Amino acid sequence: MNQSHRKHPKALYEGRWIFFILGFLWLAAMVMLPLIALPLGILIIFSAYFFRDPERNISADPAIIVSPADGTVTLIDEVEGVEGDPYLTMRLKRISIFLSVFDVHVNRTPIAGELIHSEPRGGLYLDARKPESSILNESRLWIIQGERGLVGVKQITGAIARRIVPWSQVGDHLEKGERFGMIRFGSRTELYLPMETEILVKVGDKVAGGSSEVAWWQ
């Protein structure tokens, strides 16, 4: 097992305005309305908890595909390509992961390879637990070219999450389990895999980005 690659202060940095505003309100409340200071302090603590980014142990086995996100597996199925994408046009296996506000929201690459495609798409902000959110909600699709084939990861916003934050760009070589972006607050992440992979998880399983083994190349 390898430790996750490079410590990343970016998750906390993404919450800088939230911390600034809540901190300012907390200081003002301490002076003028002490009763409000307590709930504001709780919000600051929760925000720090939400933007956490723990280190993970990542499998060094090149056949293993790891989870791109923390959360609960809500759907495993097969799809005929990814709508509107010129790369993933073949039949694929899909693993959908729902991220609640209590999950880590940093996304990690499921395999090692070159990032060949990263495209945002506008849309709605439906509850990310609804299947139609995969098509209708604002999203960003990432495609990684590995030694054994293409793998896709789609970040999908939810009713609360309103911002997808990319940290990598096309042309980057990403190690397995490397952080490539995050979604702020509750959301959904989908993993698209070639048919020659075998799924190792089931609906209802809790997974951790980078460390949970969700599939392997047969």
Reported as a single tens digit per residue, the pLDDT across 80-116 is 999 888 899 999 999 999 999 899 999 999 999 999 9
Residue 170 has pLDDT above 60, yes or no: yes
pLDDT value of position 202: 98
Report the alpha-carbon distance of residue 180 to residue 105 in Å, rounded: 11
The model's confidence at residue 161, banded by pLDDT at 50, 70 and 90, is low
Report the alpha-carbon distance of residue 25 to residue 107 in Å, rounded: 31
Q: What is the pTM of this model?
A: 0.89
Q: Please write the tens of the pLDDT for every residue from 32-84.
A: 989 999 999 999 998 888 899 999 999 999 999 999 999 999 999 999 999 88
pLDDT value of position 3: 56
DSSP string of 42-108, one letter each residue: HHHHHHHHHT-----EE---TTEEE-SSSEEEEEEEEEES-TT-SS--SEEEEEEEEE-TTS--EEE
Cross-strand partners of 182: 106, 165
Q: Please write the tens of the pLDDT for every residue from 15-41.
A: 888 889 999 999 999 999 899 999 999
pLDDT value of position 171: 97
Residue 11 has pLDDT above 60, yes or no: yes
Q: Which of 134, 139, 187, 212 is catalytic?
A: 187
Cross-strand partners of 87: none
Residue 8 has pLDDT above 80, yes or no: no
pLDDT value of position 142: 98
Q: Active-site residue 187, yes or no?
A: yes
| Range 60-217 has CATH code 2.70.70 | yes
What's at 105, amino acid-wise?
A: H
**157 contacts 163 by C-beta, under 8 angstroms:** yes
Report the alpha-carbon distance of residue 188 to residue 72 in Å, rounded: 10
How many percent of the chain have pLDDT more than 70? 95
pLDDT value of position 29: 93
